[in-house]
A and B are shown apart, each in its own frame.
Chain A
C-alpha cells in the first residue's frame, strides 16, 4: 500500500472505528483515539513532502490499479506540485479541529470525531485522485459527513443550512458527473486524466465540458453569484465544520479548476477567461463590500472567504506563472487563516454563545492572550506582509497587473476593503472598554485553546516569512500546466 493510500484510508479507518465505539459513556477514550488518528494521519503525510522530487513535473507517489473493470475506472493516485501541500494542510486542519472540539462537543462525540476523520480521508482522496471517476466519488462522498456535521451539531437554523449545503453542491456536481461520462465516451472508454489531457475536443464540446465543470467547481469555491450558500452554512455549522469547510472544502473546487477545467478544456478556458476574471473581480470587490456591513462575525468571515477565493480564481485565469502559483499559495494560506478565524470565533462563541459583533467589545481587557492571537489572524486575513495572507494575494496582484493594469488595480483595491472589514471587526470586538457583563466574565483561553491557536499562528507566520517552502515545490508543475494549457486541443 502506497503512501497516498495510507494518507486516505488511515483516517477513514480511524473514523470507522470511532463510529463503532457507540455511545457517549466513553467520550474520553473516543477523544484520544480521534487525536491519535488525526496525528498519525498527519505524520503519514510528512514523507510526501520530504520524499517529493522538486524539479519534476511528473506525478509522484503514483499508485495505479484497476478498480472497476467494466468502466475501466482506475484507482489511480499521485501528487504533483499543485496538490502536494493541500494534503498535509488537510491532515493538519483535522488535528486542529479535533483538539478544538475537545471539551466543546459533549454529545455524540464519537460521531463528531469520526465524521471529521472520514471527511479528512475523503478530501485527501480528492486531492490525490488522477482518475475522473475516483475524483468524483471522493468529491461527492465528502457531502455525507459534512451534511451530518452541520445538521447534528449546528446552530438553531442548522437544518436549513444542511439542506442548502447538500442540495446546492449536489446540483453542481451532478453536471460534473455528466461531463465526466461524456469525456469517458469521447475518449473511447477511459476515465484517466492523462488520457483526457491529450484528447482533442471540438470547441463546442469544450464549452460544454467547461461549463459543466464550472457548475460544480464554482459552487464549491464558491464564486459569485453562486456563493449564497456559504454564509448561511457557515453561520449554522459548528466551529470545526466551519473551519474545515473554509479551509479545505472550498479548495476542492479551486483545485478542480486546475486539475480538470484548465487542462481538459484549455481553449474554452481561454475563450471564457474574461467571464471568469469578471466573476472573480466581482467576488473580490463586491463581496468584500458586502462583508463590511455584516453584523455576524461568522458571516463576515464567510464573505471574506468568498472574496479571498476570488483571488484564487482570478490568479488561475490570467494564465501566468505568478497568477497560478499565487492562486495555489493563496489556497493554502487561506486554509490556515480562515480556519484560524473561525476557530477564534468559536472560542468566543463557546463562552458567550453569540456571534453578533454587537455582543462584544473590549475583549482584550479580559482575554489578552487570546486577543493577541486574534490580532495576528486578523492581520493575516487582511494580507499584512509577514503573514501567510500576504504572499498569495501579492503574487496574484502582480500577475494581474502584468496581464492588465486595471484588473490588477481592481484586485489591489480589494486589499483595502479586506483591511477595512477585518480591522473594523477587530476594533468592535476586541478593543475599547468592556462592553457588557458577558465580556467582563470572560476567562482567557486555556492550555488546549492556546495550543490550537499557537499551531495555527506558527503556520501563518512561517508561511508569511518563508514562503519559499511552499512555492518551491509548485514551480515545475505550474510551468508544466501552463505549457499544457497554452496548446490548443481543437482537432485540426
Chain B
C-alpha cells in the first residue's frame, strides 16, 4: 500500500503536517508578542510547500496514490500552490492585527492555519468521497477554532457558533449525498463512481437524490444563495485576519472539491447538476449584488460581494457540457478556475488594506473608515482602488479577464438562453460596480476623518505592493495564468 508513488503524492502534506506539530511545540519557547520566530518558521514551511507544489504542477504528471485514494495532478497541484501562497499572504497581513488583539499567544494561529491548509490539500487531492470529506472536516474544524480564537469577543464567538452549526449541517448534507451515491454505485472511489454512472446501469433516481444533497453541501461551502446565510455573519463577526483566512484560500479548495465531485465524479450527470448550478448562480448574482449595496460595513459588503463573485464562478462551471457534448468543458472549467484564482488574489489585497487600517483597539470595519485614505496614504488607497476596480471587472485589471473568460464560456455554448444569462450577469455586475465604486469614492472624494499616517511593517508593505502590482500585471498580461488553467484542466479531463 505504502509504495513509492503514494509517498510522492503526499510529500507536501506530510511536510505540512509535520511542521504544524513542530511549530506548535516550537512556539512554547517563543516569548515575543509578535512571535517573530514562529512566524518566520511558518512562512518558511509554506514557502517550501508552495515551491514543491509548483514543481509537481509544472512536472505535469498525474499520480494516484494510496490505492487510488488521492490524486496528484496538475490542476490540484496548482490550486494547492496558490492556496499555500494565499495562506502565506494572509499570515503576513494578519500578524500585526492578531498581535494587537492577543491572538498570537500560544501560536495556535499558526498551527491552526497550517492544519486548515492541510485540510484544503486533502480536499483538493482527494480521489475518494471519504478522503474529500475528511479534508473538508479538517479545514472547517480548524476554521471554527480560528474564528473563536478571541474567546472573550462576543461577536467572534457568536460567529463561530453560527459557522459551526451551519457548517456541521452542510457537512451532513454532503455526507448524506455521498452515502446515497455509494449506495447507488457501490463505490466511494471517484473514478469508479464515474464509471458506474457512465455505464448507465445505475438507477437514475437515487443518483439524482444523492446529487442534490452533494450540490447543497458544495453550495454551502462555496457560499452561494440560498446557502449563503453564514457568509455575512461570519465574515463580519470573525476577527478580520481570520475572515481573510476563511474567505481567501478555502475558496480555491472549495473549487477544487467541486471539480473533483461534480466533474471528475459525476460528469455524466452534468445536465442535472448544471441546472442546479444555474439556479444557485442566478440567485447569488441577484442577491449578492443587491444586498451588498445596502451594507455600510466593509466586511459585510465584501461578504455579499463574495456571494455574487461565486455566482460568476458557477456560471463557468455550468457551461461545460452542451447537449451532452463536452467539447467546451476544458474552456468552461478553466475559466472558472482562472476566476477563482484572480478573485482570491484581489480579495487578499482588499483585506490587506482593511487590516492595515485597523489599529490597536480600533476595528476598521465601516466603509466610512476609509474616508480620505488617498490623502493619508496614496499608496494604500491606490492598492485598494485597484482591488475594487478589479472586483468590479474594469479593464485592464485581473478581474476583468476573469469575467471575460466566464462570459466567453457562457456564450461559446451557442445556447440562446445562455446568451440572455450573460446579459443578466453583466447587468448584475453593473450593480456590483456601484458598491465597489463607493469604496473608491470614500477613499478619494471624501475628506479624511483622522490625519494619522498609515503605518505598516516592511513585510506587510512589500507583500501588499506586490499583491497590488500582481493584479495590474495580470491585467496587462493575463495570458500566462489563463494558459496554465487551461492546460491543467485539460489534463485533468483527459485522465
Contacts and interface: CB of A to CB of B under 8 A. Distances in A.
User: Does B associate with A?
Assistant: yes
A177 B426 CA distance: 9
A22 B395 CA distance: 24
A151 B479 contact: no
A34 B401 CA distance: 31
Interface in B376-429: 378, 382, 389, 394-396, 400-401, 404-405, 407-408, 411-412, 414, 419, 422-423, 426-427, 429
B283 interface: no
B479 A141 contact: no
A68 B411 contact: no
A34 B82 CA distance: 40
A195 interface: no
Given A19-B382, A137-B395, A184-B408, A151 B441 contact: yes
B433 interface: yes
A424 interface: no
B479 A68 contact: yes
A26 to B, nearest CB: 13
A32 interface: no
Contact of B408 (A108, A148, A181): A181
Given A137-B395, A151-B441, A166-B437, A70 B482 contact: yes
A136 B374 CA distance: 28
Contact of A167 (B374, B426, B430, B478): B430
B389 A167 contact: no
Given A70-B479, A137-B396, A144-B394, A166 B433 contact: yes
B396 A147 contact: no
Contacts of A163: 434, 437, 441
B483 A158 contact: no
A361 to B, nearest CB: 34
B445 interface: yes
B441 A159 contact: yes
A170 interface: yes
Interface in B349-376: 374-375
Contacts of B419: 178, 182
A90 B375 CA distance: 30
A143 interface: yes
Determine chain A's interface SS by DSSP, over half rule.
helix
Contacts of A151: 441, 444-445
A177 B423 CA distance: 10
A409 interface: no
Contacts of B437: 147, 163, 166-167
Contacts of A23: 378
Interface in A206-220: none
Nearest to A22: B378
Contacts of B479: 67-70
Contacts of A167: 430, 433-434, 437
A70 B407 contact: no
Contacts of A177: 404, 407, 426
B394 A185 contact: no
Nearest to B423: A178
Which of B414, B429, B478: most chain A CB closer than 10 A?
B478
A152 interface: yes
Interface in A167-221: 167, 170-171, 174-175, 177-178, 181-182, 184-185
A340 interface: no
Interface residues of A, number: 37
User: Which has the most chain A C-beta neighbours within 10 Å: B375, B394, B400, B423?
Assistant: B394
Contacts of B478: 68
Contact of A137 (B374, B400, B408): B400
Contact of A181 (B411, B444, B486): B411
A143 B393 CA distance: 12
Contacts of A67: 479
A140 interface: yes
The residue in B395, B429, B444 that gathers the most chain A C-beta atoms within 10 A of its C-beta is B395
Interface string A335-366: 00000000000000000000000000000000
Contact of B426 (A68, A70, A178): A178
A185 B440 CA distance: 35
Given A67-B479, A177-B404, A177-B426, A182 B411 contact: yes
A466 interface: no
B405 A71 contact: yes
Interface string A132-168: 0100110011011001100110000011001100110
Contacts of B444: 148, 151-152
A111 interface: yes
Given A174-B426, A178-B407, A184-B408, A152 B395 contact: no
B441 A178 contact: no
Contacts of A162: 441, 445
Contacts of A178: 407, 411, 419, 422-423, 426
Contacts of A137: 395-396, 400
Given A174-B427, A177-B407, A140 B394 contact: yes
B327 to A, nearest CB: 12
Contacts of B375: 108
B426 A144 contact: no
Contacts of B405: 70-71
A141 B400 CA distance: 10
A15 to B, nearest CB: 13
Residue from B375, B411, B414 having most chain A Cβ neighbours under 10 A? B411
Contact of A185 (B374, B396, B412, B426): B412
Contacts of A170: 394, 430, 433
B374 to A, nearest CB: 8
Contacts of B445: 151-152, 158-159, 162
B394 A174 contact: no
28 contacts: A19-B382, A22-B378, A69-B483, A70-B479, A70-B482, A70-B486, A111-B374, A137-B395, A141-B396, A144-B389, A147-B437, A147-B440, A148-B440, A151-B445, A152-B444, A159-B445, A163-B434, A163-B441, A166-B437, A170-B430, A170-B433, A171-B427, A174-B426, A177-B404, A178-B426, A181-B407, A181-B411, A184-B408
Interface of A: 19, 22-23, 67-71, 108, 111, 133, 136-137, 140-141, 143-144, 147-148, 151-152, 158-159, 162-163, 166-167, 170-171, 174-175, 177-178, 181-182, 184-185
Interface of B: 374-375, 378, 382, 389, 394-396, 400-401, 404-405, 407-408, 411-412, 414, 419, 422-423, 426-427, 429-430, 433-434, 437, 440-441, 444-445, 478-479, 482-483, 486
Given A70-B405, A166-B437, A167-B434, 4 more contacts: A70-B483, A71-B405, A151-B444, A178-B407
8 nearest A-B residue pairs (beta carbon): A174-B426, A137-B395, A70-B482, A68-B479, A151-B445, A140-B395, A181-B411, A185-B412
